[in-house]
Structure formats: structure tokens, C-alpha cells
């Protein structure tokens, strides 16, 4: 069966996405819940992963995060990581109502920002039977300091405070670009590979993506610490896929977080940088995730 459009309620906000029914399955099958990373929408290669999971006999439910893409939510282009975690959990609840889904066999997959989210979900939601965290953000504080020059941080803090005061007065949120061609220019993700991937993917696959987020999004990123949940995921099985040369969510931060996780766990290195997992490294990133879910959800 082909994928179908879906929508579900998340605390009064309608989230929308796709459901890929498991192929070669005559009974209820496991389901993989998927959402994208920082500001990205589902058309940015999540369809490739979901189709591969479905071809292997796993249902896949993909949705756009609130305030982005086809999902509702205001203010537009604002990312609250804690709310996004709650929305994954709403998606798990919704998936359990679908006739194709075995609600006792749920996997969560996340990449980049949502790679951090699934660490928290794996620790908090005991409906989850397996976790795959790809090129994850594990520490907003450390990530922020790795991307922003130390002499710029004070100015960012002043901007955060000014924006909070302006929003209190009823003014519109301040906005910043997600990426910029000049890595020294203000942006949320100031790396050259971020600029290249987002702009090319927007042009070729995802016209609904917008190159902006609220300034408060960056502040919330700097406060977000999903890596602290890693030791609490056990006994739920955890697979971490870490890029060898990740400069956006630094490799060494992900490795340090992996060391804190307890068994059962597995680490797979992906060649290249942060965004290679979606493109030339897809044949390296997808099979381990697929096999992890098959091993731990089909028994």
C-alpha cells in the first residue's frame, strides 16, 4: 500500500505527516515514529528512511514538527525542544490507534535535533521498545559554545533579553536565519555544510522550508540538555549513529554521551560530516537503523 496523509491532535494543535504501511505484513506490525531536526521538514529525506523501513516490514509514521511544514502551530518557525518531545509522544499515542500498528512494538528515530529528542523519549516513555539516535545534538550549552565565538555570546544574551521584553509588550518575535552563506554572519546554524545542505535541499525537495526561526529558538537550544537522559534509557536498546567528522553537532560530544549510556547499546560511525547521513551516506545510516528495529521490535 502507498503512503497516506495523516493528521492528529497534539494538545489542541493539529500535526500532519505521512504513514507508510509495512510491506509483506498480514498482521499488525511494529511502528517507527519519526520527525526531523532543527527547522527541517519531512520532505528533507525522511521519506527515504520511512520507505526503507516500510519495505523491511516496519510501519513508519513521519510528521512535521509543530510550527513547521504542513503542521499547525504558532508562533511559526519557533522550536521548543520540550514541546517537540511531547509531540513525539502524541504521535506514539496516535499510531497505536491505527489498524496496521502493533502498539506494543514502538521504535523512535531522530536525527540531529530530534536525535537528541529520542534520547529523552527513550528514557521517559516506556511504550518505546527501541531507539535510534542519528548525528544527535546532546548538549545545547556545549553546542552553542562550539558554534558561537566567545566574544559574540554576550551580544546574543542581550538580544535574548531584548526579545523577551519585546514579546512581553506584545511585539512580534525577533527572527534569525537558520543558515547564512557567510559563516560569520548571524544565523542559528553557522557552518558551511549547513548552508549547502539546507539551501540545496530546499531547492530540490522541500519548497515549504523557510530559512528563519525565532530568536527564542536559539535561546532554547542553548538551554537544552538531552544527553543527560542517556543513562536512563536502559533497558530500552539504544543505537547511536555518529558522524566521524561532525562539526555541527560535534562528534566528541556525541561520543561522550554514548559512554554514559548503559547496555543494551550500540555505536556505529558514519563516514563524513553531519549531513552526509542523508545523501551519499544513506546506505551507511539506514541499514543499521533498520536492522536495530527489526532485531528489537519483531521478536
The pLDDT tens digits for 203-255 are: 999 999 999 999 999 999 999 999 999 999 999 999 999 999 999 999 999 99
DSSP reduced 3-state for 268: strand
DSSP reduced 3-state for 53: helix
Tell me which residue of 116, 148, 152, 149 sits closest to 132, measured CA to CA: 116
Tell me which residue of 30, 29, 4 sits closest to 17, measured CA to CA: 4
Contact assessment for residue 92 and residue 86, using Cβ atoms and an 8 Å cutoff: no
Domain locations in the chain as residue ranges: 4-141+225-297
Q: Under CATH, which number does the domain 4-141+225-297 receive?
A: 3.40.50.1820
Contact assessment for residue 37 and residue 110, using Cβ atoms and an 8 Å cutoff: yes
Rounded CA-CA distance 153/145 in Å is 8
C-alpha cell at 229: 537522559
Task: Give the tens place of pLDDT for each residue, 255-290.
Answer: 999 999 999 999 999 999 999 999 999 999 999 999
- What is residue 56's predicted lDDT score, i.e. its pLDDT? 97
Rounded CA-CA distance 277/270 in Å is 7
Rounded CA-CA distance 267/204 in Å is 32
The single residue listed with the C-alpha cell 526503507 is 52
CA distances from 122 to 82, 83, 165, 242 (A): 14, 15, 36, 18
User: Where does the pLDDT of residue 155 fall: very low under 50, low under 70, confident under 90, or very high at 90 and above?
Assistant: confident
- What is residue 128's predicted lDDT score, i.e. its pLDDT? 98
- What is residue 246's predicted lDDT score, i.e. its pLDDT? 97
pLDDT at 1 over 80: no
- What is residue 40's predicted lDDT score, i.e. its pLDDT? 98
Contact assessment for residue 121 and residue 108, using Cβ atoms and an 8 Å cutoff: yes
Amino acid at each position: 500500500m502507498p503512503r497516506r496523509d495523516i493528521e492528529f491532535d497534539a494538545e489542541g494543535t493539529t500535526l500532519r505527516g505521512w504513514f507508510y504501511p509495512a510491506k509483506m505484513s498480514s498482521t499488525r506490525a511494529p511502528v517507527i515514529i519519526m520527525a526531523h531536526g532543527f527547522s527541517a521538514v519531512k520532505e528533507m529525506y525522511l521519506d527515504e528512511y520511512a520507505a526503507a523501513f516500510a519495505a523491511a516490514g516496519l510501519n513508519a509514521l513521519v510528521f512535521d514538527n509543530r510550527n513547521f511544514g504542513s503542521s499547525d502551530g504558532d508562533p511559526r518557525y519557533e522550536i521548543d525542544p520540550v514541546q517537540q518531545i511531547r509531540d513525539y509522544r502524541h504521535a506514539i499515542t496516535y499510531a497505536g490507534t491505527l489498524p496496521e500498528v502493533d502498539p506494543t512494538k514502538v521504535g523512535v528515530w531522530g536525527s540531529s535535533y530530534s536525535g537528541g529528542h529520542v534520547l529523552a523519549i527513550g528514557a521517559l516513555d516506556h511504550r518505546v521498545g527501541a531507539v535510534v539516535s542519528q548525528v544527535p545534538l546532546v548538549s545545547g550549552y556545549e553546542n552553542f559554545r562550539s558554534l558561537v565565538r566567545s566574544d559574540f555570546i554576550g551580544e546574543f544574551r542581550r538580544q535574548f533579553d531584548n526579545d523577551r521584553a519585546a514579546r512581553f509588550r506584545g511585539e512580534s518575535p525577533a527572527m534569525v536565519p537558520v543558515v547564512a552563506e557567510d559563516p560569520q554572519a548571524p544565523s542559528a546554524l553557522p557552518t558551511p555544510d549547513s548552508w549547502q545542505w539546507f539551501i540545496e535541499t530546499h531547492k530540490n525537495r522541500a519548497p515549504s522550508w523557510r530559512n528563519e526561526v525565532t530568536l527564542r529558538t536559539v535561546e532554547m537550544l542553548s538551554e537544552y540538555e538531552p544527553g543527560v537522559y542517556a543513562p536512563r534509557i536502559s533497558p530500552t536498546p539504544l543505537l547511536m549513529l555518529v558522524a566521524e567528522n561532525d562539526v555541527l553537532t560535534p562528534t566528541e560530544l556525541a561520543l561522550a554521551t554514548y559512554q554514559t549510556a548503559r547496555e543494551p547499546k550500540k555505536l556505529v560511525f558514519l563516514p563524513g560530516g553531519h549531513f552526509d547521513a542523508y545523501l551519499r551516506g544513506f546506505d551507511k545510516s539506514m541499514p543499521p537503523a533498520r536492522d536495530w528495529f527489526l532485531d528489537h521490535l519483531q521478536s
